[in-house]
Amino acid sequence: MTHRRTHLVLATLCVGLVACGGSSAPSSSEDRTSGGEATTTRAATTRAASTAPYAGEAEATPEPGMMDDMASPPPSMEGGGAVQTTRPSRQPQRQTVQVETIHRDPGPQGVGGARLEFTALMGTESEFATALSQNRCEDARDLRDRICDLSERICDIAESHPDHVDTRARCRDGARRCETATDRVDACD
């Protein structure tokens, strides 16, 4: 009976989610990114625990400057697996285990791969920002043209009706806005 209830609840949820389109489901890119990070962290922790000569060392937090090491490893550590230590000292051993773990983790989900992806993402973001700025300047030019066109048309009407004070005032206001818009858009270019 409990199983039937569970199945009914699950079936109702499925029907409801299909009806709503599953709008809260994460995108594939989000899923992939978070999954990759989780896998990397888990792998590093597991391997550190199995390599550490003393119990509890693998849980130690990274030493100051550790992130710098990860970002630019020394040449001797490139490729991974080159670091071996026989010293019984706890502190150096702890650092060695961490570094070794990180640089022995190959593949696109490893630190090297993540760094490449991060660099690519930063490049893409920069290109996107540039394109966005260019598009905005183009949009600004369109708006300026429209402002000046409308101003010109109003002034044409004002010239044909010199007695109409309101239209003359609108002409002056439009001309002023056109001038300001032109100056601002020129600065955008």
Partner 1 sequence: MSPRLEHRRAQLWKPQRRLWEPQRRLWEPQRRLSRGRLLGRSGFWGLCLLFAALLGGCGDQAHTAAAWIESAAAAHAEADTALESAQVGQGRDALVRFLAEPIPADMATEDVRVVRQDAHWRLAEMALDEGEPVRALRHANGGLAEGRGRDVFTANLLVSRGRAREALNDPLRAASDYHEALQINDALLHELLDGVESE
- Total residues binding partner 1 (CB under 8 A): 47
Helices (H), the chain: 2-20, 28-51, 66-71, 90-103, 111-160, 165-188
What's the one-letter identity of residue 186? D
Distance CA 170, CA 139 (A): 24
Contact pattern from residue 104 through residue 143 relative to partner 1, giving x for each residue in contact according to CB under 8 A and a dash for the rest: -------------------------x---x--xx-xx-xx
CA distance 51 to 55: 10
Give the shortest CB-17-to-partner 1 separation in angstroms: 7
Residue 184 Cβ vs partner 1, minimum distance, rounded to whole Å: 5
Short-list 136, 143, 168, CA closest to 155? 168
Residues 54-73 as x/- pattern, contact with partner 1 by CB under 8 A:
--------------------
- CB-wise, 39 or 167, nearer to partner 1? 167
Q: Please, which of residues 7-46 interact with partner 1 by CB under 8 A? A: 8-9, 12-13, 15-17, 19-21, 23-24
Structure tokens at 164: 């109409």
89 binds partner 1 (CB under 8 A): no
Integer Cα distance of 168 and 166 in angstroms: 5
Distance CA 172, CA 9 (A): 70
Q: Which amino acid is at 86?
A: T
Q: How far is the CB of 21 from partner 1 (least distance, A)?
A: 6
Binder to partner 1 among 59, 125, 149, 186 (CB under 8 A)? 149
Query: Using alpha carbons only, what angle is made at residue 115 by residues 28 and 121, rounded to the nearest 5 degrees?
Result: 55
Measured from the CB atom, the residue of 59 and 173 that comes closer to partner 1 is: 173
Instruction: Say which amino acid occupies 65.
Output: G
The footprint of partner 1 (CB under 8 A) covers 5, 8-9, 12-13, 15-17, 19-21, 23-24, 129, 133, 136-137, 139-140, 142-154, 157-158, 160-161, 164, 166-167, 170, 173-174, 177, 181, 184-185, 188
